[in-house]
A and B are shown apart, each in its own frame.
Chain A
Amino acid sequence: MTTETAVLPGARYTWGGDEFLFVEVSEAMSLPANFKVMSIAGRLSESRFPGIVDICPANASLLVRFDPDVLPPEQLESAVRDIERDLMNHQERALETRIVEVPVWYEDPFTAEVAQRFREGFHQEPEGSDIDYAAKVNHLKDAAEFIQRHHEQPWLVSMVGFVAGLPFLFQLVDRDKQLEVPKYLSPRTDTPKLTVGHGGCFGCIYSVRGAGGYQMFGVAAAPIFDPGQALADFKDFMVFFRPGDIVKFKPVTEAEYNAIQAEISAGTFRYRQAPVTFELSKALADPEGYNRELMEALNGI
């Protein structure tokens, strides 16, 4: 990321029919692009414009749903353009967010079983596992090294969506250290709930069971979407993740995974989490040094 700067050209504005404004901040994924998306989304949300129905920040673009009977399209566009212009003229604002530790059972039997059902015609290397393939295409020694790289540096939730509560994750490392893995050749019709997946430069956690095309590395131990809102982390809302959350994966053993299941059944499980302030300039200047600082917030929680 040392070669990147936080300066981006102006966004591209285009309409999704008569109810959606689409603002493409950048064609390519980058931390500055995502940060700008979140900044625009945050400001637009604070503006409480009547007629805005949904503000959906994505990786490098923003989708706004509006009611044209209340808010004429040209008014919305000029409001968003004003926000964009204002952001370019001012110092960035830090993002007040949180860091969350997400326990993951890597190389678990659930995703292994499903992967077995979708090899020939679905996967690039049907004879090996998804992690073996991911290690190979990233020029890493073996699965263990890939897993190490996957969890030792934190990730930013760059978007929530596709299905209810699914976080897209962008690892906070230099571009040359980003893990990149092609999606399956053809999407699976099944993916276990809570699969930790990866496609292109993005990680994700599948919130519900269903179709999917990302490579599967493991399974997150605790829910991230809880319509019954049984656990304390879901008291306010059934979806756990928000764009801007920072995720630190923590590898767990089968025994630790089972202990977490017991806590979930007892209703006592809580994610380890702590508030942090995220500053783009620091993350760009020295990602791993800044990550150490961010991860310290989890100590003693």
Chain B
Amino acid sequence: MAFEIGNPGLATTVQDQGRAGHYNVGIPQSGSMDQYSAELGNALVGNTAREAVLECTYLGPVLTTDSDAVIVVTGAPVEVKVNGEPRPQWSRLPLKAGDQLSFGVIQGGTRYYIAVQGGIDVPEVLGSRSTYSLGGIGGFKGRKLEAGDVVPVGTPLNGGQLPQAETVPEEFRPVYAKEQEVRIVLGLYDHRLTEEGLGSLLNEEWKVTPVADRMGLRYSGPGVKWREREQPFGAGSDPSNIVDAGYAVGSIQIPGGTQPIILHRDAVSGGGYAMVGTVISADMDLVARAAPGTATRFVAVSLADALDARREMAGRRDKAWAALGANR
């Protein structure tokens, strides 16, 4: 069973929960940018959270299924069409062999997900099916989809058993707002900012620029000031430079004090720009949903708060699975 790709869309890739354990040699975790939306898609088609999905960016693909299939589209709001007819998002859709899936214009956010019963069945590379395009590994031949690709779909799990619910209830769907509050834990090199610079980071509004992809999102705003100093040996000449170090996923660097960059799931694993804090794990999906222009405030929280938020998010996911009558 397979999907035949007619038009690949802007950047459609195979993703799953990601590839842990190889960041030490520069291979990033990858995986669905909005893990929550991808996971609920899997839940609704009777998969576990581990199955691979198709991640669509702004412009989705046009694809045809060669067999009967069960799918759902979750994530950013978009018009879903089967053989040209509108179909609801966040709802399970049965497809017949030969049916064509396509999309209208995205209404907000950045990425939506096609989950299919049985999951996208490309081979695992280093324990994951996620695409890491820069390294050319994982996913479908290590790259985004192209016209003519035939993407394999796996066999249904648990004898094809589906959860009771056919739709993800409204209360469990993410909100796609034009304003966001993103919680961060200050640290790493925040002491290198002036007091005024730190104030700008936390008190001013920052806007997501169009320079935003799976590697990271760049924000425009008033800029920040770095403390002047005699630079340590090997660190480079700008006060925002450090001796090249590992970059936490979610960490915020501000090269030259101008535009903050939040690194996301295809992050470069290290480099020579000082980081001033890190987005908490519970808010990484939120950041992934931010479209260019999203007005953003960074709110500093403690590590204890971050851990509370993480537990709260895990609880929310558990509740969603339970509400669908799905088995994790």
**Chain A: residues with CB nearer than 8 A to chain B?**
14-20, 22, 24, 26-30, 53-63, 65, 68-69, 73, 159-166, 168, 175, 182-183, 199-202, 207-208, 210, 225, 227, 238-239, 241-243
Contact = CB atoms under 8 A, between A and B. Distances in A.
B142 interface: yes
A18 B306 contact: yes
A57 B271 CA distance: 13
A201 B275 contact: no
A131 B177 CA distance: 50
A29 B134 contact: no
Given A53-B21, A65-B23, A163-B26, A19 B248 contact: yes
A73 B281 CA distance: 14
A227 B134 CA distance: 12
A29 B248 contact: no
A56 B23 CA distance: 7
Given A19-B281, A58-B245, A65-B23, A27 B137 contact: no
Name the residue in B243, B270, B277 with the highest tally of chain A Cβ atoms < 10 Å from its Cβ: B243
A59 B134 contact: no
Given A28-B235, A53-B20, A60-B243, A16 B280 contact: no
Contacts of A29: 232-235, 243
Contact of A54 (B24, B268, B277): B24
A19 B281 CA distance: 7
B312 interface: no
Contact of A164 (B26, B245, B250, B271): B26
Contacts of A199: 236, 272
10 contacts: A18-B281, A18-B310, A20-B248, A24-B245, A28-B232, A62-B246, A162-B268, A163-B26, A163-B134, A164-B137
B76 to A, nearest CB: 24
A227 B270 contact: no
Nearest to A53: B20
Given A61-B243, A164-B135, A182 B237 contact: yes
Contacts of A27: 232, 235, 242-243
B132 interface: yes
B284 to A, nearest CB: 9
B249 interface: yes
A162 B22 CA distance: 12
A196 to B, nearest CB: 17
Nearest to B229: A27
Contacts, number: 179
Interface string B275-315: 10111110000000000000000000001001100100010
Interface string B15-30: 0000011111111000
A20 B310 contact: no
B84 to A, nearest CB: 39
Given A18-B310, A207-B26, 13 more contacts: A14-B188, A16-B250, A17-B277, A20-B251, A28-B243, A62-B246, A162-B26, A163-B268, A163-B269, A199-B272, A201-B233, A225-B135, A227-B135
Contacts of B278: 15-17, 20
B185 interface: yes
B270 A16 contact: no
Interface of B: 20-27, 125, 132, 134-137, 142, 184-185, 187-188, 232-237, 242-251, 268-272, 275, 277-281, 303, 306-307, 310, 314
Contacts of A239: 22, 25-27
B281 A183 contact: no
Name the residue in A18, A29, A73 with the highest tally of chain B Cβ atoms < 10 Å from its Cβ: A18
Contact of A175 (B184, B233, B306): B233
Nearest to B305: A18
Contacts of A208: 134-136
A161 B270 contact: yes
A183 B271 CA distance: 13
B245 A63 contact: yes
Contacts of A17: 184-185, 248, 250-251, 277-281, 306
Contact of A200 (B184, B272, B275): B272
A27 B244 CA distance: 10
Contacts of A183: 236
Nearest to A63: B246
B306 to A, nearest CB: 4
B306 A56 contact: no
Contacts of B277: 17
A205 B21 CA distance: 22
A58 B244 contact: yes
A202 B20 CA distance: 27
B139 to A, nearest CB: 12
A14 B187 contact: yes
A16 B269 contact: no
A2 B314 CA distance: 54
A108 to B, nearest CB: 23
